[in-house]
Structure formats: C-alpha cells, structure tokens
Amino acid sequence: MPNISDYMTVKEAAAYLGVTPNTLRNWGAAGKISELRHPVNNYRLYRESDLNALLNQIEDQDTSRRKSDSLRRRKRK
C-alpha cells in the first residue's frame, strides 16, 4: 500500500509546478496529469514523479518550439 506522505496536495503540487491550484485541477480534468484521490477525504493527490514528467514534457516542447523558431528566422534571411 502506498504511503500517503509520498503524495502532494493540490496546493503543494501547484506551488511545485508554479501554477495556480485551479490550473492544476483543469490539467487533471483534461487528462494532462494523473490525479489520485485520498481514500478518506477524496482530495486530489499527485505523485512527484508525475509532476516531474509534466515539467519535462513542457520543457521539451519549449525547447522544440525555440529550435523551430530559430530555423524559421534563418530561412527568412
């Protein structure tokens, strides 16, 4: 059985990602991040590994976007 202390609350996870709690809830509803529920109070819980995976995905998209923008600028010259 997983240890509840291995998970973050909405507030903690939002601070970790640098977004608002409502943004995190919306991402969960859209399936962008996995949400678990506390067995007693049904609060949303997030694994740090899932949060890190989301951060890496965002970082990879940003890097790809910058490379693409750089190539477009070179073609225009």
Looking up residue 62, the CATH number of its domain turns out to be 1.10.1660.10
pTM (2 d.p.): 0.72
pLDDT in tens, 9-59: 999 999 999 999 999 999 999 999 999 998 899 999 999 999 999 999 888
Domain extent at residue 32:
4-71
Classify residue 48: in a domain, yes or no.
yes
CA atoms within 13 A on the CB side of 71: 6
Classify residue 24: in a domain, yes or no.
yes
Assign 63 a pLDDT band (cuts: 50, 70, 90): confident
Classify residue 76: in a domain, yes or no.
no
The set of residues, in sequence order, having a beta carbon less than 8 Å from that of 27 and lying 6+ positions away, is 33, 54
pLDDT greater than 60 at residue 1: no
Question: How many domains are there within the chain?
Answer: 1
More confident residue, 1 or 8: 8
Assign 2 a pLDDT band (cuts: 50, 70, 90): low
Classify residue 42: in a domain, yes or no.
yes
